């Protein structure tokens, strides 16, 4: 999705992002909150803006790049080169980074009072409220 937005923007189309579906539904942003905008900013060489949207975007791009090269090499050679992505330690580190960073961002929203407002404005709160 982020790469499609970058390509469309470069072709002259104006793309409007609609926001986080999970936040609209329950009032709490998803763990990848801001990732699309961050990747878009990285593609436009705006690293500081990208990091403000989501600090993990550069790591995600590196992980996507490694996976792309790895899968391409396996398809080219028609052999399984490595099963690094099956190691629990890899996913544990990635999971802890995502959960820890998301928890920190949710804590910031909670202490500022913004989280309570977005929950009260959510679709689910309106349905149950």
The predicted model scores a pTM of 0.77
| Predicted local distance difference test score (pLDDT) of residue 10 | 84
Gap between the Cα atoms of 40 and 1, Å rounded? 10
The structural domains of the chain, with segments of one domain joined by +, span 2-128
Residues 6+ apart with CB under 8 A from 28: 22, 106, 115, 118, 119
How does pLDDT run along the chain (129 residues), one tens digit per residue? 777 877 888 888 887 777 788 999 999 999 988 988 898 888 888 999 999 999 999 999 998 898 899 889 989 998 888 887 778 998 899 999 999 999 999 999 999 999 999 999 999 999 997
């Amino acid at each position: 999705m982020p790469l499609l937005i970058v390509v469309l923007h470069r072709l002259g189309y104006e793309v409007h992002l609609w926001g986080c579906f999970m936040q609209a539904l329950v009032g709490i942003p998803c763990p990848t909150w801001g990732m699309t905008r961050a990747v878009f900013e990285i593609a436009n060489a705006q690293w500081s803006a990208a990091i403000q949207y989501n600090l993990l975007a550069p790591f995600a791009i590196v992980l996507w790049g490694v996976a792309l090269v790895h899968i391409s090499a396996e398809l080219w050679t028609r052999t399984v080169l490595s099963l690094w992505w099956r190691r629990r330690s890899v996913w544990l580190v990635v999971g802890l980074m995502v959960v820890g960073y998301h928890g920190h961002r949710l804590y910031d929203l909670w202490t500022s009072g913004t989280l309570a407002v977005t929950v009260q404005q959510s679709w689910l709160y309106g349905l149950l409220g």
